[in-house]
């Protein structure tokens, strides 16, 4: 498998968009993380940290702009003035911006017909790092739990067995003991995410359907216990 610069750039654009919207009222952060997960899976990544680490090594983005006039230096100088940052040319003629107490070289990348990205270049990513991906290009339930699940209207269903619609909202409440007990369930592959009659369905594969039924029963028992506590406390 070969990861191209353009593919990594796509993930970088999605990540920047997510960051711009993560503190807004709409539930965009989860949606964008899901988009990133599926794009990453199509590229062969099996874990979010794999490609975010590559983005980090690719270099930290300072800003993007629509290059219609002026030089890159002009835009860097304007950005520095607006953000109260210092900039200079080094004795080697490198454009540098002050960052975390030191001067760092600035570079830029302009996609065809797209915005220009100004960034701090990092060490080149070695080819073997692109190849160091897991063999199974799947998103697992554990990955979605790490990304963050909505607190309602999301259900677990089995790909080949009818065990009903099992609410997924309580997964983040699992204790360490609970995560250990249902580790096989958390490691289940998410074969599809689709709309269903009650909400979003996460279709699980590669896991015994009885384990999903056991989790559903544990949820029901926990709910009954909490209700009983409310009656007597």
Based on the fold, state whether residues 94 and 158 are members of the same structural domain. no
- Domain range for residue 217? 141-232
Based on the fold, state whether residues 86 and 175 are members of the same structural domain. no
Based on the fold, state whether residues 16 and 42 are members of the same structural domain. yes
| Strand order through the sheet with 200-205 | 166-167, 154-158, 200-205, 189-195
Based on the fold, state whether residues 63 and 158 are members of the same structural domain. no
Based on the fold, state whether residues 106 and 166 are members of the same structural domain. no
* Domain-embedded: residue 136: no
Is-contact 84 98, C-beta < 8 A?
no
State which of 96, 113, 131 marks the end of a domain. Answer: 131
How many domains does the structure of the chain reveal? 2
The span from the CA of 133 to the CA of 125, in Å, is: 14
Based on the fold, state whether residues 16 and 99 are members of the same structural domain. yes
Radius of gyration of the chain (CA): 23
Residues whose CB is less than 8 angstroms from the CB of residue 164 and which lie 6 or more positions away in sequence, other chains included: 157, 216
The span from the CA of 219 to the CA of 139, in Å, is: 24
Based on the fold, state whether residues 97 and 45 are members of the same structural domain. yes
pLDDT tens per residue, range 98-115: 988 888 888 888 766 678
Residue 48 has pLDDT above 60, yes or no: yes
Is-contact 205 191, C-beta < 8 A?
yes
The pTM (predicted TM-score) of the whole model is: 0.43
Based on the fold, state whether residues 13 and 121 are members of the same structural domain. yes
Give helix 28-43 / helix 48-58 axis angle, nearest 10°.
90
Cβ neighbours of 68 (radius 10 Å): 5
pLDDT tens per residue, range 134-160: 344 467 888 777 767 776 788 899 999
* Domain-embedded: residue 52: yes
The single residue listed with the structure tokens 């998103």 is: 139
């Amino acid at each position: 498998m070969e990861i191209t610069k353009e593919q990594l750039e796509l993930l970088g654009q999605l990540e920047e968009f997510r960051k711009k919207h993560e503190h807004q009222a709409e539930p965009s952060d989860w949606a964008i993380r899901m988009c990133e997960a599926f794009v990453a899976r199509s590229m062969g990544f099996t874990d979010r940290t794999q490609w975010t680490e590559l983005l980090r090594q690719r270099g930290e983005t300072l800003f993007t702009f629509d290059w219609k006039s002026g030089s890159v230096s002009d835009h860097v100088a304007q950005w520095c003035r607006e953000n109260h940052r210092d900039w200079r040319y080094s004795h080697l003629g490198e454009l540098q911006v002050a960052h975390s107490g030191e001067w760092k070289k600035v570079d830029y990348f302009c996609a065809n017909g797209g915005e220009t990205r100004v960034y701090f270049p990092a060490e080149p990513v070695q080819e073997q790092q692109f190849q160091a991906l897991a063999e199974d290009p799947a998103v697992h339930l554990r990955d979605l739990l790490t990304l963050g699940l909505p607190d309602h209207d999301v259900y677990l269903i089995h790909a080949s067995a009818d065990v009903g619609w099992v609410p997924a909202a309580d997964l983040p409440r699992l204790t360490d003991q609970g995560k250990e007990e249902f580790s096989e369930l958390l490691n289940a592959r998410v074969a599809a995410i689709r709309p269903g009659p009650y909400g979003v369905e996460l279709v699980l594969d590669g896991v015994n359907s009885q384990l999903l039924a056991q989790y559903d029963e544990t949820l029901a028992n926990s709910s009954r216990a909490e209700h009983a506590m409310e009656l007597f406390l």
